[in-house]
Amino acid sequence: MSDTIEKNLEPYRLAEKLRTLRLQKSMGLVQLGKHTGLSPAMLSKLECGKAVPTLPTLLRIAMVFGVGLDFFFSSSRRPVVAIVRKEDRIRLPSVEENTGGTYTYESLDFKANERKLNAYLAEFHSVPPEKLRPHHHPGVEFIYVLSGTMALAFGQEEHQLKAGDAVYFDANARHSYRRVGKQVCTAMVVTTK
């Protein structure tokens, strides 16, 4: 990288912002790599300032942490109005998608900068209960089932929710989801940071 480019990028503190976002979520490099498709080694180089991220790379990372691209290039705060058109939504893989994951999702608010929550449209897949991989994360989660039937495993209990049902829960507890039956199961999922 030339000295001119390095000098002009310096005020944006990209490496520092990347590391801070990851640490705020208590997420390791390997876990972030699974969500972004980037290697832990590359993520480490980006956080140490040894490599400069491309815009697509920044966008992948931004979507995981619920910030817009302007988060990396702006220090001023302004009112947030971000419209995401249906045709502009980006489909994100679940962590286990390559091994028959239980859901896929689209970010509904990825254009908003410095979000206080994350909203997704999720499609749940049919998976035998014994194959579920429970997960947990900081904050709370709200799910509103739009179509089909979803099973939510929460701790040792499993709850079935049908279209029109909603659930709010502490996402620090281990949980997982799956579709019940053959009908497509979709839901709006909202998580907090």
Kindly state the percentage of the chain with pLDDT values over 90.
39
Per-residue confidence at 79, pLDDT binned at 50, 70, 90? low
Q: pLDDT confidence of 173, banded at 50, 70, 90?
A: very high
Mean pLDDT over residues 58-65, rounded?
A: 90
Task: Compute the mean pLDDT over every residue in the chain, rounded to the nearest whole number.
Answer: 86
Q: Tell me the pLDDT tens digit for each residue of 86-122.
A: 888 877 766 554 444 678 889 898 887 777 888 999 9
Nearest to 188 by CA among 125, 124, 140, 131: 124
Q: Is a pLDDT exceeding 90 seen at residue 191?
A: yes
Torsion of CA 129, 172, 90, 151, to 10 degrees: 30
CA 125 to chain centre: 18
Query: What would the pLDDT profile of 8-48 be if each residue is shown by its tens digit?
Result: 788 888 998 999 889 888 889 999 998 899 999 999 999 99
pLDDT at 76 exceeding the cut of 60: no
Q: Secondary structure of the chain: what % helix, strand, coil (to 5)?
A: 30, 30, 40
* Mean pLDDT across 43-56: 91
Q: Is 187 a residue whose pLDDT tops 90?
A: yes
d(CA 188, CA 99) in angstroms, rounded, equals 23
Predicted structure pTM score = 0.61
Task: Name all domains of the chain by residue range, CATH numbers in brackets.
Answer: 3-73 (1.10.260.40), 88-192 (2.60.120.10)
